[in-house]
Amino acid sequence: MATVGVVVEEVKKQSPQVKSFKLAPVDGSKLPRSSGGAHVTTSIQNGQEIIERNYSLTNDPDETDYYEIGIRRSDESKGGSIFWHDRIKEGDQLEISYPKNHFPLSFSAKHHVFIAAGIGITPFLAMASELKKKNKSFELHYAAPSQELCAFYSFLSSTYSAETHFYFSRTGKRMTTDLMDNQPIGTHVYFCGPETMVKEYAEAAKSYGYPEKNIHFELFTPPDFGPVYPFEVKLQNSNKVLQVPEEESLLDVLLKNNIEAPYSCKMGGCGSCAVEVLEGDIDHRDVFFTEEERKETKDILTCVSRAKNDCLVLNL
């Protein structure tokens, strides 16, 4: 993966649990232009371990002097958000990937409805900036426990006051799916937040009659499809047999064994890590393939999907 060296130019507290980080190129050059909904993969050295995480870009996509990301500190963190909040400071240097976008705006949309919960607000900040500059129609609905815990509240209130609607559960105002009902024909809806919220709103959008191509979402953690079990894979080209324990993904095991395996989002949402399965039944745990495609495809998304039985034979 091609990377760019950046320095942490500024750290801001956006709420008690969220910090934003301004990243500027180390060599003073321009960064690649991004697009609304894009993210970068950050790589941080922590002793012998490299912590690699994806974070949405929150600044104007036309801005090339710096990137900005927003990170929520999670007590369930496996090292990523805690490291960023507790250890990263202004002046630190790290490597980031070029921008990637698996959650792009649809410019065939007549109207855009953004629905965010918690840290799910981050991709919509850049999306709103892009649409505002192009005079496109959009609205933003943002749920948080309270105004105090609402990251980027001041920025949104001042920059997108006409488009933004806040829902603070501690004051009794909750966001509900009916905000998608009776929208103009040609509306596209976008969701980002906890998996349970994304699933609820995606199902509701279908029930309101939105075509599948008008429904867009992004997850920050891999989807939960229930318990996982160990399995083994055989690599057809080398006859190598690898064991995949329950606590690791197939992609993790391939990379650990120096197998050249493509990947990008690591969330089962982009399809970049697809590998052909020659034998065995796939336990699809992604949100990339439709139900129909799952019945027909011979590909497994190695970042999240597993074997239904004991063994898979891969075209690797």
- What pLDDT, on a 0 to 100 scale, did the predictor assign at position 179? 97
The β-bridge relationship of strands 3-13 and 49-56 is: unpaired
- What pLDDT, on a 0 to 100 scale, did the predictor assign at position 77? 65
- Stretch 125-135: mean pLDDT: 97
- What pLDDT, on a 0 to 100 scale, did the predictor assign at position 163? 98
Whether the Cβ atoms of residue 166 and residue 144 lie closer than 8 Å to each other: yes
Tell me the pLDDT band of 307, cut-offs 50, 70 and 90: very high
Share of the chain above pLDDT 70, in %: 99
- What pLDDT, on a 0 to 100 scale, did the predictor assign at position 1? 64
- pLDDT: is 2 or 14 the higher one? 14
- What pLDDT, on a 0 to 100 scale, did the predictor assign at position 265? 78
Rounded to a whole number of angstroms, the distance between the first and last alpha carbons of the chain is 20
Domain with CATH 3.10.20.30 in the chain: 231-314
Q: Which amino acid is at 235?
A: L
Whether the Cβ atoms of residue 85 and residue 17 lie closer than 8 Å to each other: no
Residues 142-165 have pLDDT tens digits of 999 999 999 999 999 999 999 999
The hierarchical CATH code for the domain 111-218 is 3.40.50.80
Domain with CATH 2.40.30.10 in the chain: 3-97
Beta strands in 28-124 (DSSP E): 39-46, 49-56, 67-72, 93-97, 111-117
Whether the Cβ atoms of residue 274 and residue 265 lie closer than 8 Å to each other: no
Q: Residue 190: what are its φ and ψ, rounded to 5°?
A: -135, 135
CA angle centred on 227, ends 224 and 312, rounded to 5°: 100
pLDDT at 272 over 90: no
pLDDT at 224 over 80: no
- Listed in sequence order, the residues at least 6 apart from 63 whose beta carbon sits closer than 8 Å to its beta carbon are none
pLDDT at 78 over 90: no
For domain 231-314, which CATH number applies: 3.65.10.10, 3.10.20.30, 3.40.640.10, 3.40.50.300? 3.10.20.30
Helices and strands of the chain, counted as H and E runs: 6, 18
Mean confidence (pLDDT) of the chain? 93
Would you state the CATH architecture of domain 3-97? Answer: Beta Barrel (2.40)
Closest CA to 1 of 299, 275, 237, 273: 273
- What pLDDT, on a 0 to 100 scale, did the predictor assign at position 195? 87
- Stretch 169-176: mean pLDDT: 96
Domain with CATH 3.40.50.80 in the chain: 111-218
